[in-house]
Amino acid sequence: MARVWLIAGPTASGKSALALRLAETTGAEIVNADSMQLYADLRVLTARPSADDEARAPHHLYGIADAREIWSAGDWLRATTKALAEIATRHRPAIVVGGTGLYFSALTQGLAEIPAISAEMRAEVRERLNCMGEDAFRRELALADPEAATRIAPGDRQRLARAMEVATATGRSLTAWQASTAPLLGPDAYDALVLDPPREALYARCDARLGAMAAHGGLEEVRALMDRGLDPQLPAMKALGVRELARHLTGELTLEEALRLARQETRRYAKRQITWFRNQTPQWRRTADVEEGAKALMATMP
């Protein structure tokens, strides 16, 4: 496999700009590792690369899913495996860039090939979660997969349900499945960097960007999603800004109130990302500056 660079970091840290700069300089192709930028319906609110940016270097796995779809980390890993193999046949470097920590973990630590779970089982587990409530459901999950019950963040109902459905359908915990896997990329197969700007500067960038998104197509994206009557529990419907702007469009909030709440949630999300990458990727290079990051990664070329 050709050279692979991994670029991670919180939202609004400049990851896409760094990836594009590196791609233009080296001839690399860019692969998306952001779970929300997969969705075709959310170009503006997820800050997906623009059409002009995509024309400057090959981009993969951006805007390929419909908002009604649920992409698991396994789905992403299979698509990324294929993309990286295709890039390697062209003898070009690959840049995997995004802010979804689980994707990077799957890529570098492995992800279990869990048997397919039936739609009936998935629906049954989600109905139990809705009826029981998160606290009681988590206590029940702890009997089947105590590590997952402890590890999964409060409010992450999708991953709670996933852990329960795997344990119920296979008779083996999700944690056990994940512990018996080999990574796609071994430690010598990639060079990695985390963009880690100063906290206050990052928050200011998040705040400014969200306002610009709402003014330049974000509201229209949310309105289009609402018009489809999609399940609010779908991942795309939980993208940053969607719920708050939807409440504005229904008349529940003023635009200023919606933006204030969305900015608050975005800062919380960025903080969680910062914490995850600091805890889970302590050996990766770190920089606060896009230019410095590009130089650091280009220095790893043979």
pLDDT tens profile 285-296:
999 999 999 999
Question: Which tokens is 9 given?
Answer: 């970091």
The answer to whether 31 and 97 have CB atoms below 8 angstroms apart is yes
**Is this structure's pTM higher than 0.85?**
no
> φ and ψ at 193, to 5 degrees?
-145, 140
pLDDT attached to residue 2: 65
Q: Which domains does the chain have, with CATH numbers?
A: 4-113+182-197+282-298 (3.40.50.300), 119-179 (1.10.20.140), 199-273 (1.10.287.890)
Report how far residue 143's alpha carbon sits from residue 149's, in angstroms, rounded to the nearest whole number: 9
Report how far residue 14's alpha carbon sits from residue 9's, in angstroms, rounded to the nearest whole number: 8
The answer to whether 30 and 58 have CB atoms below 8 angstroms apart is yes
Per DSSP bridges, beta strands 190-195 and 59-60 are unpaired
Per DSSP bridges, beta strands 4-8 and 29-32 are unpaired
Alpha helices in 27-65 (DSSP H): 51-56
Report how far residue 157's alpha carbon sits from residue 12's, in angstroms, rounded to the nearest whole number: 25
- Residues across the chain: 302
Instruction: Tell me the average pLDDT across 62-81.
Output: 94
Q: How confident is the model at residue 58 (pLDDT cuts 50, 70, 90)?
A: very high
Q: Which residue has the tokens 């973990």?
A: 105
The answer to whether 95 and 22 have CB atoms below 8 angstroms apart is yes
Counting Cα atoms < 13 Å in the Cβ hemisphere of 47 gives: 21
Is the pLDDT at 200 greater than 70? The verdict is yes
Report how far residue 81's alpha carbon sits from residue 205's, in angstroms, rounded to the nearest whole number: 33
